[in-house]
Amino acid sequence: MAAPTAYSLIATDLDGTLLRSDDTLSDRSLAALARATEAGAQHLVVTGRPAPRVRPLFDDLGSRGLAVCGQGAQLYDPGADRLLWSVTLDRDLAETALGKIEAEVGQVYAAVDQDGVDGLTLIEPGYLMPHPTLPAVRVPRRDDLWCEPISKVLLRHPYLSDDELASAARMAVGSLATVTMSGPGTVELQPCGITKATGLALAADHLGLTAERTIAFGDMPNDIPMFDWAAHGVAMANAHPELKAVADEVTLSNEDDGIAVVLDRLFR
């Protein structure tokens, strides 16, 4: 059955958007997504989380769809537990980029997401995980972060705000990497040119769908490329001001089922 609205692809971020602050999905959000998929639309998760941190959520979603992970660096099939596509961040470039950032702002604390469906999140001494529910392995020194291929680097600064750190990092790294801010305490370096939009476009092409029939939901500046690509971008009430400024619509917060409010209107 064809979707009864202009949108046949629903792209949702996870943290701060579809998920509540305790990393759970509300019954109302699940029901709204189920109605939309029954009407013929497809739901696509588009998240900064790496593939291994997305897999458990698909049991709750009851979905066998695809997921764009790692800020667009991975296209993941949870049903088959395999990556259909991935791109890694060159580890020498990542180390050089960190050095350039620290030359500008002083010491930062770093973590990495390893590539692959079984990749670990490694954190160096001093790094605090912004999502304490997500598993991570602490390593004794920074050099240990580079032991396996990585999809991205996560950064924290002892006193700079996320906005200040992201701005300084962009100036420092230039074309060595793409700098994104995906949540509180989450400034990231990913392969140059890779964004949520590149991953979303690849996934849509794989599904035979187009930007013109895509509605996207998000809450942070890393969702801006996704909003630029999709026909309609919906920011959550709790979204960063930069995302609200480019959104076509602002809905309720993730705690108040903002996605469900919009989907209930579109897929009655």
- Can you give the residue ranges of every domain in the chain? 9-86+194-267, 91-190
Q: Cα–Cα distance between 150 and 160 in angstroms, integer? A: 25
| Topology (CATH level 3) of domain 91-190 | 3.30.1240
Q: What is the pLDDT of residue 202?
A: 96
Task: Tell me the pTM.
Answer: 0.94
Q: What is the pLDDT of residue 131?
A: 79
Q: Cα–Cα distance between 185 and 198 in angstroms, integer? A: 24
Burial 128-167 (b: 16+ CB within 10 A, else e): ebbbeeeebeebeebeebeeeebbbbbbbbeebebeebbb
Q: What is the pLDDT of residue 5?
A: 66
Residue 208 neighbours by CB under 8 Å, 6+ apart: none
Tens-digit pLDDT profile for the chain (268 aa)? 344 567 999 999 999 999 999 989 999 999 999 999 999 999 999 999 999 999 888 877 776 689 999 999 999 999 899 999 999 999 999 999 999 999 999 999 999 999 999 999 999 999 998 877 788 999 999 999 999 999 999 999 999 999 999 999 999 999 999 999 988 888 999 999 999 999 999 999 999 999 999 999 999 999 999 999 999 999 999 999 999 999 999 999 999 999 999 999 999 7
Q: Strands 137-138 and 121-123: what pairing?
A: parallel
Q: Cα–Cα distance between 93 and 176 in angstroms, integer? A: 6
Q: Cα–Cα distance between 27 and 61 in angstroms, integer? A: 10
Q: What is the pLDDT of residue 60?
A: 77
Collapsed DSSP state (helix, strand, coil) of residue 43: strand
Q: What is the pLDDT of residue 1?
A: 34
Q: What is the pLDDT of residue 63?
A: 64
CATH class of residue range 9-86+194-267? alpha beta
